[in-house]
Structure 1
Amino acid sequence: MDIKEIQSLIKFVAKSGASEVKLETDDIKITIRTGEGMSKSETTVVQQIPMAAAQHVVGAPVPVEAPSSAAPVAEAPAEDSKYVTIKSPIIGTFYRKPAPDKPTFVEVGDSIGQGDVLCVIEAMKLFNDIESEISGKIVKILVEDSSPVEFDQPLFLVDPS
């Protein structure tokens, strides 16, 4: 499936009024979601899938669910309520190091201060330093290195005490 076929599929789904359509072929999986009651917003997810797991499925319109990110996000258990969650201020790719040959900014157990750089998020070829707004100790890193992150996605758990 080439880009022109994908674009025409997006236009067709937008005009049809369907809220979500999924299409899987031997080598590609496409999910197209359009917002109900919103101003014709469109989201397209294209993902390569292994040949062994390939199946052909065309879904009928179903209720829109919150989009899931490719990186697993650990939900904070009740005992973690005393910790502060540092969240992503932008959409992009999360990096724990300033460069591949450099050490990570922070590790679990490290003490951090206000203004310390915790990670870098790449958005549109720009690398944005993400600084801590609080002082404390890193309890958990919730995102894998080089993973895509969404706006407001939890990145770190910090013990402020």
Structure 2
Amino acid sequence: MLKIEEIREIIKLIDQSSIEEFVYKHEGSKVELKKRSSIQPVQAQPIHPASAVVAQPSTPAPATEVTAQPNSEQENSSQVQSDQYHKIVSPMVGTFYRASSPDTPAYVEVGSTVNEDSVVCIVEAMKLFNEIEAEVEGEIVEILVKDGQLVEYGQPLFLVKQK
């Protein structure tokens, strides 16, 4: 499957071109991008629903209602430990999921060892399920958000004790 950086680059290229529709299939996965107008979002759908989290449709809310704020306990904990641990942050606004579907185990737990390529969670945005990688080698010491919680761009998701 394409990495988030590759999908972003494809979206930029399609946006700058006269291409109206793009379909990419690889090893049972499918990414379909359609350009309808300059305002509507580009969407992708997985072929295998078992490998994706099923999100309930919702109406868009104003940006002021979408912001996700950590509770004060999480905020204090993060401030104390922010200097000594690496933060894995959300690359986009979306919904945080710890597993690929409700009936599968979480990608990581506190104490899990990760490397640069380890998938730690999914952030769903506009029905596109983006696998988030650790990008560092180490051990998960804290999970900062709850499953199904809305997250903001740059919001810390995990703290990792680097090796």
TM-score of the two chains, using structure 1 as the length reference: 0.56
Identical residues among aligned pairs (%): 45
Any stretches of 5+ residues in structure 1 without a counterpart? 1-41, 46-66
* Residues 1:136 and 2:138 are matched in the alignment: yes
Q: Given the alignment, which residue of 83, 86, 94 partners 1:84?
A: 86
| C-alpha distance 77-107 of structure 1, shift in aligned 2 (>3 A) | same
Q: Which residue of 1 aligns with 2:106?
A: 104
Deviations 1:42-87 (A, max 9, x none): 7453xxxxxxxxxxxxxxxxxxxxx851553722233442100110
| C-alpha distance 113-150 of structure 1, shift in aligned 2 (>3 A) | same
* SS at structure 2 position matched to 1:82: coil
TM-score of the two chains, using structure 2 as the length reference: 0.56
Q: Which residue of 1 aligns with 2:153?
A: 151
Q: For the residues of structure 1 that align with 2:110 and 2:147, how far apart are their CA atoms? A: 14
Any stretches of 5+ residues in structure 2 without a counterpart? 1-61
| C-alpha distance 125-77 of structure 1, shift in aligned 2 (>3 A) | same
* Residues 5-154 of structure 1 aligned to structure 2 (within 5 Å): 43-45=63-65, 68-69=67-68, 72=71, 74-75=74-75, 76-154=78-156
Report how many residues are paired.
Answer: 100
Determine which structure has the larger strand proportion and give its number: 1
Q: State the AA in 2 paired with 1:113.
A: N
Is the CA contact (8 Å cut-off) linking 1:71 and 1:149 kept in structure 2?
no
Q: State the AA in 2 paired with 1:78.
A: V
Is the CA contact (8 Å cut-off) linking 2:141 and 2:159 kept in structure 1?
yes
Deviation at 1:136, TM superposition (A): 0.2
| C-alpha distance 79-98 of structure 1, shift in aligned 2 (>3 A) | closer
RMSD: 2.2
Deviation at 1:99, TM superposition (A): 0.5
| C-alpha distance 78-115 of structure 1, shift in aligned 2 (>3 A) | same
* SS at structure 2 position matched to 1:78: helix
